[in-house]
Structures are given as C-alpha cells and as structure tokens.
Chain A
Amino acid sequence: MIMILAIALIMTIVGLILGLLLKGIDRKIAAYFQSRIGPPLLQPVYDIIKLMYKQTIIPVTAVRWLFSSAPVIALASSALLLLYITIPYIFYIFEINTTLQGDLIVVLYCILIPSIAMVTGAFSSGSPYAAIGAQREMVILMSIELPIAVVIISVAWHAADSMADPFAISSLFEYPLWHNAGAFGVLGGILLFFAMVLVLPAEMSRVPFDQAEAETELAEGISVEYSGKLLAFILLTDAFKALALSMLVVILFFPYTLSQLFGISFQMYGHTLTPFVEIVFLLFKIIVIYSFGITFIRVVMARLKISQVARFFLFAITAISIIGLILIMLDPNMRII
C-alpha cells in the first residue's frame, strides 16, 4: 500500500513535468509547422511559475467558493485520472503483480470530471462569455462521449470471451486490440483509432474543437475570468489531461512494449534496464500520438462551429466508430476462446 502511494506520488510529479513538457513539445512542433522557431521546450513551466506569483482576482459576480475550488478539483481529478490510467501500465512494465487493474468505464467517466469541474467554475464566474463557453463545452462533452464509449466498448468486446475482465486495462496488455485480428478486425481497429484521434483534440479543447475557449469569439471562454494561481491550476489540469489522454490512446491501441514486439531486453552491468527503456519507448509513443492527434490537426484546420462539431461527432464519428465496432464483432478471429 505504502509502495503504491509512493509510486503514485512520484508519478504525479513526474506526470506533471512530462505533461508540461508535452505541451512544450506541442508548441514547438506547432511553431515549426508554422515556419517559426517557437518557444523553448520549458515554456509551459515558466508560464506556470509566473502564474503562481501573480495575483488571483476573483470577480464579484462569481460564486466565490465554487469559482476557486473548481480548478483545484479539476487538477486533482485529472491527476487521479492520469494515475488511474498509467499505474497498470507501469506495473506491467516493471512486472509487479497487483490487483489494480483499472477499468475502462471508470476511465470514461473520470475523463468527464475535470471538464465538469471546469464547466462549473466557468458557470460560477458570472461572465456571459464563460457561460457560453461552458455551454459549448457541455455540448462537446455530450457529443464526444458516444464515440469514446463505442471505442471503449469495442475494445472491450474483442476481449469479452477471454478469461480476463474485458474492461480491465491490464487485460489489454495481454490481449491488445490487434491480437489475432483478421482483416475485418484490423479495418475496424483502424476506424476506431481514427475516431479516437479525432476525439483527442475535442477532449483537450484544441482547434478545430476549441469552441469552448475560442479566443476570438469568447475571449478564452471558460477560463476568461481566471487569473494567477487558479489559471495555473487550469493549465496544469490541461497538462495532466494531455498526458492521460494520449496515454489512453496508447493503451487502447498500442500497448505493445519493446520486449513484446522484438523480444529484446536490455542489460547493463548485470542489471536489467528493460523497464526504463520501455518507459522511454512509452514516452515516444505518447509524443507521437500527441503531436499527430493534437498538434498536427490543430495547425491544419480552422475552428468549426459548435453546431458543426455536434453534428460531426454525433453522426460522422459515431457512425465511423460503430462501423468499427461492427467490423470487430464480425471478425471471427477476434473471439479468443
């Protein structure tokens, strides 16, 4: 128990730094895409430090206790989300046996909590811009929930007949989605991956789905009234979410470790270094997913309208993911018995 707590603490701190770094990488790559040099990689860290020193203004129209507790709740819940998703994988890499398996449906709901906290905070600020932003965020949440649910259910479905709990994150390491997949399964998996990658920017409120924070329409929307520390918490929440969500995509679709893929292991002076190399590999996967799913998409697209987003997710993306689900259900090889 104590070990788990210690690991959780270390991982929170590491996750914080990595999350901020991920955002730094995102900004850097985006700058390169735009033919600029871009800020230093540690820029998000500087921003956070600066915000910590700044005054925190609470508008009089705000419901004070809600306004100031919302970012804290968002931060805490996103940190928990990160731990919840990552711990099974880390344990798996370090080959620690544990009962902490993680449950995909819990993840599905935990993703909601930071957003709900933010929406509540925005509503409580009393600013009409924030209120419109929060309404939009709710619409986006509602419309992406269905595709995510379909993805998670189809991923679970392929493992439904295995002995393991199909919703457990840890069973994905044993039975990755592509395990035994036939042609149908691979096709379905690709569709699901596509859907999930498009869900990523919507969860993270990035262009083309950043209606809730649309700078030119709503003057930063949800976070318009936040300043100082509370704003820093919001940015940290964002960092945690960035890491957690790309981690989720990695786990759902590419849980393979190097040793699984190539059967290699790393030794040095008689100690095994495999877990550490695996972690580096994991970070590599996360960066690739993030820079493709978020950075690339956000630089090549314009912001859509909220009605377009709702239609896009509720119909197009849901349809795509349901086709993926059906394909996986049709694939005879996917039934592991």
Chain B
Amino acid sequence: MSRIRQLDVAVSELVGDGDVVALEGFTHLIPVAAGHEIIRQGRRDLTLCRMTPDVIYDQMIGAGCARKLVFSWGGNPGVGSLHRFRDAIQHSWPVPLEIEEHSHAGMANRYTAGASGLPFAVLRGYAGTDLPEHTESIKTIECPFTGEKLAAVSAINPDVGIIHAQQADREGNVQMWGITGVQKETVLASKRSLVTVEEIVDELEPRPGSVVLPKWAVTAVAEVPGGAHPSYAQGYYERDNDYYQRWDPIGRDRERFQQWLDTEVLNVERSAR
C-alpha cells in the first residue's frame, strides 16, 4: 500500500546507508529533488544504479553518497562530461567509486528481469566488446534449442527504487506520461519504492500513452512540485537546458562544487510539503 508522505520523511524511512538505490527517469522525469534529499540526509556507501547518471548522480557522487555506480552512459547530455564522476573514478575524490558498467540494452534488461522475478535476462548484446571482461554481471548463455550463444545479464533488484511522475491520486495510485523510460520496471524490481509527483489530484484522468502504477505496487508517494527540475515534466514544465550548461563549470571545480552543495542543497529546506 502506498502512503502519501513528506519527501524528507519518505527518504528517511526508505533509504539507509549501504543500500542499493536506483533513481530512474530517462531524460524526462528525473527525480532530482529526491536525490538532493538523499544528499541532505547524508546517506553514505550507496550503490547507485541508473542507466544515464547525469547531473543528479554527478552531484550525489560529488557529495560522497556513493560507494559504487551501476550505469550504462555517464555524461551531461548535450553538454559533455560529468566531472564529479570522472574525479571520483580517476582520483577517488571525495571517496573511491567502484563501477559496474553496462550498455543501455543490458541495463534495461536487468531491470526487466528484476521486475519479472527472474534472476537474469537474455539479450543479443555485448558481442565483440570489451565490456564482459570487466563486468561480472554479464555472462554468456547458450540457447537450449538452437545452441546459439547470447548474452545473459543478472537482474537488478534495488533496495529502493525512486522515480518522479506527473500525478498521484489521494490513495497513492500513480500516473506518468510522455517518455516513461524504465521507470515501471524500476519500481517493480525494487524492494521498496518512492514516487515523487508534480501534484496529487482527486482523480487520475486516463491519458494517451500513460503508465499507471497501482497504489499497492508503490511503497510511498511524495508531492514535490518541480521535483524533476532541471529535467522536465511533460505537461508541467520544460527542460532547463541552461542549468545543464551551467553545471559544467561548477562540476569541473571541487571548490565551486562544494560551494554549490552548501548553498543549493545542504542549507536549504526544499520540497517539504
């Protein structure tokens, strides 16, 4: 049964040090406010999973929340590199960062296996690449009918899956639309789940292309208007492309980053509603 919570309460109830945590959202509906709340609560040693660890994971890594990153593409989309991510991998700053690296198809199938209650998934993937050599969660499997060799990837079942959606109703049923990425799979694969939403409405009005998560499949819902900024929430606000540009010089410099962290995350009380 999903319960409507304040963001800070939900994060403190659901996310603990050392947890495997997935914040998903493919360009659209990235749960940024929830990520900042995790930083604010000082969580440590997290294994952070995300197909596209962009600015929000750069921030969480820079803030020292992560022990390990599980991912398939780590960049600032349309801008360039993630400098906190690079600094952590290349110079162990602020703490060493272990990585587990996949392709998008591999990560998507790992969440799908997790959501399906299977220990692994099969795909035509990774053939001829150097990734399997460095990633233990990729193996080869043989088709029992044709003998063909394919890739197998192990399931991801995070302790906590966090996504952002446009709406929930007062009972905690969730609706999102537009590009919905791998969010349904993330919630269904996770032991506990948190959905931040733009607004809580009396009734969810069915929409073309919407994905609905019934309340009993979600642990907690928190109303956080603007909770996906600087990414976007279709029907609510556009992507703040300038923010992604402005992040580049901040992320490049440890001191500027620390200053940003102090003024924009640690010493503000965002989100509680």
**Do A and B share a complex?**
no
Interface residues of A (CB under 8 A from B): none
Interface residues of B (CB under 8 A from A): none
